[in-house]
Amino acid sequence: MLARRILTLPDELAITKALVADLLIAQQAKQGVLSDIQNAEFKVSSQFGEDGIIQYLIRHADVPRECRTFVEFGVGSYEEANTRFLLTHDNWRGLIMDGNSEHMAAVRESAIYWRHELTALSAFIDITNINDLIRGAGFAGEIGLLSVDIDGIDYWVWECIDVINPIIVVAEYNSIFGPRSSVTVPLDANFQRTRAHYSNLYWGASLKALEMLGRRKGYALVGSNSAGNNAFFLRRDRLNGQMELTAEQAYVECRFRESRNAQGELTFVSGPARVREIEHLPVYDVEDQKVIQIRELA
């Protein structure tokens, strides 16, 4: 008698998700160039709809087989991440990094680590070590995708990366700073989100600051996800007719209610009240090249 493989519920769910994703990817291929990349959204392993947008951009940018590698940092436990679907579904090679050593150890001890060509490093990332970390892990030159999400000095870290040349960049932005201000938290190698302000609202950069940085580095902003936290950039030589957007056009206000009080308890603050929580704190205006307070933003 042939042995029958018994699927657990997680196995069945993963297979179902992958099958549905394949159908959605096939449907995407028939749609041509999308005027709004949010129409490509679907979620398998990402936090929101990033999996679908990334699949669309990979196909649209015609990422070569030899470039099917990724670098992602700020991945947490890697249960939800922008690159996990690329690893498990498309068999890309990748590097992930996070400051939590327990998270990275758990990834290295999991089945995903021997089933795929993945490198998981524990590191507190700043502008002084990011290039050495990437190079030391065996990644350099042209790659398919870079994902930046450290809830801190993301702008400054992306600015200094030069060891790799990604075709696609996914960068998290802080929508609290609005669509018109080109600001980031000041450069501080020791920046930690909760330590910087107990509310957890003070971190990262505005979408406009990232748009300006991307332009300087040779990238075009092509949209944001519908959750209002991740922006997507294509290298200009790979736009292939995809519309470039301004920060004002691509901006989506996030609906997260993740603010906390001084005791670390969720307060569920939303809308303009989030700005009032941190209005006294400084940000660096990358356009005017000066430090201002958040209350001065448009």
What is the structure's pLDDT at 29? 73
Whether the predicted pLDDT of 152 surpasses 60: yes
**pLDDT tens across 187-231, in order?**
999 999 999 999 999 999 999 999 999 999 999 999 999 999 999
The domain locations on the chain are: 37-255
What is the structure's pLDDT at 66? 95
What is the structure's pLDDT at 7? 42
Whether the predicted pLDDT of 6 surpasses 50: no
What is the structure's pLDDT at 2? 35
Whether the predicted pLDDT of 292 surpasses 90: yes
What is the structure's pLDDT at 116? 97
What is the structure's pLDDT at 181? 96
Whether the predicted pLDDT of 167 surpasses 90: yes
What is the structure's pLDDT at 154? 97
Whether the predicted pLDDT of 296 surpasses 60: yes
Whether the predicted pLDDT of 4 surpasses 70: no
Whether the predicted pLDDT of 117 surpasses 80: yes
What is the arithmetic mean of pLDDT over 30-53? 92
Whether the predicted pLDDT of 129 surpasses 50: yes
DSSP track, the chain: -PPPPPPPHHHHHHHHHHHHHHHHHHHHHTT-S-SSGGGG---SSSSSSHHHHHHHHHHHHT--GGG-EEEEE--TTSSS-SSHHHHHHH--EEEEEES-HHHHHHHHTSHHHHHTTEEEEE----TTTHHHHHHHTT--EEEEEEEE--SSSHHHHHHH--SEEEEEEEEE--GGG-SS--EEPPP-TT--HHHH-TTS---SB-HHHHHHHHHHTTEEEEEE-TTSSEEEEEEGGG-TTPPP--HHHH---------B-TTS-B----TTHHHHHHTTSEEEETTTTEEEEGGG--
Q: Mean pLDDT over all residues of the chain?
A: 93
What is the arithmetic mean of pLDDT over 278-292? 96
What is the structure's pLDDT at 1? 34
Task: State the CATH class of domain 37-255.
Answer: alpha beta
176 CB-contact burial (10 Å; exposed 0-12 / middle 13-18 / buried 19+): buried
Distance CA 149, CA 136 (A): 20
**pLDDT band, very low/low/confident/very high, at 10 (cuts 50, 70, 90):** low
What is the arithmetic mean of pLDDT over 62-86? 96
**pLDDT band, very low/low/confident/very high, at 26 (cuts 50, 70, 90):** confident
